[in-house]
Structure 1
Amino acid sequence: MSTTTDLSAKLHPYWVTGFSDGEGSFNVRFTKNSQRKSGWRVSPIFAIELHVRDLKLLERIQAFFGVGIVTLRKTRNAAVYTVQSFNDLTDIIIPHFEKYPLISKKQADFLLFKSIVSLLNRKEQSTLEGVQKIVNYRASMNLGLSVLLKKAFPNTIAVPRPLVSFNGIPDPNWLTGFVDGEGCFHIGLKKSSLYAVGYQVKISFSVSQHSVPSSSSPEGRTGDRDKVLLSEFITYLDSGTIEKASTRPNGVVYIVYKYSKISDNIIPFFDKYPLQGTKFLDYKDFCKIADLIREKSHLTVEGLNEIRLIRAGMNSGRNNI
């Protein structure tokens, strides 16, 4: 099992795309501004917001692109990487995602975002008619327009949301990046009289998708594209199944329960293509518990107590960065 992640190494381009598929956002803000001829300031933004414990990872993403800033949002215990410069978006961010495309439904948001940046570079925002054009594109992005924008631009006609075909996972580093954003290594303890220690220990690896398409999306509101994407994990990792998320009506989950598949497929994959964020620490602990299970230590009181201790410091219980 790999025990370290090289924090000085440059991130793989496909890792960056995979992570952005999970955690990145393309947005366009509209602010009233009486000093502008159109009366509006239009600001395109590429952003990645994470828990503050992953501050170093955001700094590595900033170093990868060579543009943008990382700021702390202490009230949310979060850190955010943002790129807002037209030049940086045009010359750095957009070309990256053209060369290493997103494969989740976020690709449609990127294409709309790219069109908006093109309109901004042509100075369309200098007239109210031009701002309306931009709003028409923004209406098909993410969850659509806010109540305030709908009121300010009542004649908006949303452009058709791009229908993006899915051509499979392009690179193993994409998968690792996506898992760094959306994956979970879980340890379950269930009371059971079938075991002398009184508990059954079950490990699982999962990847969730829970975003809801906008009402104008041809993907609908059923998460079909999410299901297609996660179903590819079954083939790519030769393991797992797809389930509906128990906590979100539109969510789907790729999950691996079977110990032999975790031991023979999942762990070797992430040893070869290491995770880069604090999730790597969860992965290390997950591997420790997998080893204890392999050694049958989970069937002893001492082994169970060790598993409890490791489990308590994983995921949301982790304090060390």
Structure 2
Amino acid sequence: MHFLLRIMTNFNFTNDWLAGFIEADGSFVVSFEDKANGIPVRPRPILNLTQSKVEYEMFKALQEYLGVGRVQTNRDNVTLVISSTKELVEVIIPILDKYTLQGNKFITYQIFRQVCLMMYNKEHLTLEGTLKILELAYFMNKDTSLRTEETKEVLLNKLRSKNSSLPTNYKPELPEARESSPMSLEFIRGLVEGDGSFNIGFRTDRRRISVNFTVVLELASISLLHELVKYFNCGNVYTLKSNAARYQVQNLDDFITKVLPILRDVKFNTIKQTHFEIFAQVCQHIHTNGYKTDKDLKFIVDLAWDMNNNAKRRRVTKDEYLDLFINTSPTPFGGCK
């Protein structure tokens, strides 16, 4: 079934790719819902994968490949939501136990895994079990979570309404951080699918085109970006103000000689495949021909101007940019200046 799916849609899913995709784009969450009867709080573990809505067909294919979850859409995004404890334990956990996550996401996953297994074994049906899950959940995503001690106390009070002597000093055993292990190309393909980008920049103050290949992860997983530096033998890692970090290759020769030979035969499942093909073509053209002539400049502009977000982040329109550097106004005699 999975083989036929890949042939029909041209998507290429592997479990190692999935681990990389989850590393960059996935979120492990344990939410808590109110219950009218029995224990007043019910934990709900959820794995979310979210991309731009243009990836809807890929997400439907991924759902079919895994055989679990549901695909949801809103105005801008598509999300694969896996919230069934049975599906998480029987499908997702065996994959991620074998094809491991890295960096801080590994710790988050290990806590999430523990919660899923506790619920699979019905431990959440006791007050003590729910308390343990609550404590575990509040150790997840500590750098990015909006949860506070106040919101935790609200949940604890609901549990105390069933048992006023409920212990509040439970300290869960937490997994330890692990050193990043060597990454496979499939894992990196997933990372790039999740939060990588290929960008062509056009300066408006002078005739200059810049290129950069980036991968962004949460700051707690910065060690993984340093592994990309080793893997490609080029690039730099930068910390960002948004509690994130970025791996970046912006040297044209590095991309041509070090990155492109590795990624040349990689096939991405998302729109990044198109972006990569355009990016590679632009880099090769600049490397071979440059863009000093109007013909070369216009070739690159025509090829790459709309490649990311339909040029929504460009400060000027394509025609305005060309007017800055290519004089196409007709002369009074019908010729060109």
TM-score, normalised via structure 2 length: 0.80
Alignment match, 1:87:
86
User: For residues 136 and 304 of structure 1, do their structure 2 counterparts lie closer, same or farther at Cα, with a shift above 3 Å needed?
Assistant: same
What secondary structure, in the 3-state scheme, does the structure 2 residue paired with 1:49 have? strand
Q: Matched residues in 2 for 1:206 and 1:157: separation? A: 42
Q: Matched residues in 2 for 1:82 and 1:63: separation? A: 13
Q: Does 1:236 align with 2:231?
A: yes
Q: Matched residues in 2 for 1:150 and 1:57: separation? A: 41
User: 1:275-316: CA deviations, max 9, x gaps?
Assistant: 221111111111221122023241122322332333331222
Contact between 2:236 and 2:247, CA under 8 Å: does it hold in 1?
Answer: yes
**Aligned with 1:310 (options 303, 325, 336):** 303
Q: Matched residues in 2 for 1:73 and 1:13: separation? A: 27
User: Where do residues 63-212 of structure 1 align in structure 2 (5 Å cutoff)?
Assistant: 63-74=64-75, 77-143=76-142, 144=145, 145=147, 147-153=150-156, 155=168, 159=172, 161-191=174-204, 198-209=206-217, 211=218
**Aligned with 1:290 (options 283, 287, 291):** 283
Contact between 2:41 and 2:155, CA under 8 Å: does it hold in 1?
Answer: no
Q: Matched residues in 1 for 2:228 and 2:108: separation? A: 23
Query: Alpha-carbon deviation of 1:159?
Result: 3.1
User: 1:87-135: CA deviations, max 9, x gaps?
Assistant: 1111101111001111131111111011111211222222333211110
Structure 1 gap ranges (5+): 193-197, 212-222
Alignment match, 2:257:
264
Q: Greater CA deviation, 107-116 or 118-127?
A: 118-127
Contact between 2:11 and 2:58, CA under 8 Å: does it hold in 1?
Answer: no
Q: Matched residues in 1 for 2:228 and 2:207: separation? A: 30
**Aligned with 2:14 (options 12, 15, 22):** 12
User: For residues 182 and 305 of structure 1, do their structure 2 counterparts lie closer, same or farther at Cα, with a shift above 3 Å needed?
Assistant: same
Query: Alpha-carbon deviation of 1:82?
Result: 1.3
Query: Alpha-carbon deviation of 1:244?
Result: 2.8
Amino acid at match of 1:164: A
Alignment match, 1:28:
30
> What is the percentage of aligned positions where both structures have the same residue?
22
Over the aligned positions, Cα root-mean-square deviation in angstroms equals 2.3
Contact between 2:267 and 2:273, CA under 8 Å: does it hold in 1?
Answer: yes
Q: Matched residues in 2 for 1:180 and 1:20: separation? A: 10
Query: Alpha-carbon deviation of 1:254?
Result: 1.4
Amino acid at match of 2:33: T
Contact between 1:191 and 1:199, CA under 8 Å: does it hold in 2?
Answer: yes
Q: Matched residues in 1 for 2:56 and 2:171: separation? A: 36
Amino acid at match of 2:16: Y
Q: Matched residues in 2 for 1:191 and 1:34: separation? A: 61
User: Where do residues 217-228 of structure 1 align in structure 2 (5 Å cutoff)?
Assistant: 223=219, 225-228=220-223
What secondary structure, in the 3-state scheme, does the structure 1 residue paired with 2:264 have? helix
User: For residues 114 and 120 of structure 1, do their structure 2 counterparts lie closer, same or farther at Cα, with a shift above 3 Å needed?
Assistant: same
Contact between 2:105 and 2:221, CA under 8 Å: does it hold in 1?
Answer: no
What secondary structure, in the 3-state scheme, does the structure 2 residue paired with 1:288 have? helix
User: 1:178-229: CA deviations, max 9, x gaps?
Assistant: 011121111122356xxxxx411121111122x3xxxxxxxxxxx4x53321
User: For residues 91 and 203 of structure 1, do their structure 2 counterparts lie closer, same or farther at Cα, with a shift above 3 Å needed?
Assistant: same
Q: Matched residues in 1 for 2:119 and 2:283: separation? A: 52
Contact between 2:212 and 2:250, CA under 8 Å: does it hold in 1?
Answer: yes
What secondary structure, in the 3-state scheme, does the structure 2 residue paired with 1:11 have? coil
Query: Alpha-carbon deviation of 1:14?
Result: 0.8
Contact between 2:180 and 2:224, CA under 8 Å: does it hold in 1?
Answer: no
What secondary structure, in the 3-state scheme, does the structure 2 residue paired with 1:273 have? coil
Structure 2 gap ranges (5+): 1-5, 158-167, 313-337
TM-score, normalised via structure 1 length: 0.83
Query: Alpha-carbon deviation of 1:17?
Result: 0.5
Over alpha carbons, which structure has the higher Rg?
2
What secondary structure, in the 3-state scheme, does the structure 1 residue paired with 2:103 have? coil
Q: Does 1:300 align with 2:299?
A: no
Q: Matched residues in 2 for 1:311 and 1:242: separation? A: 25
Contact between 2:63 and 2:69, CA under 8 Å: does it hold in 1?
Answer: yes
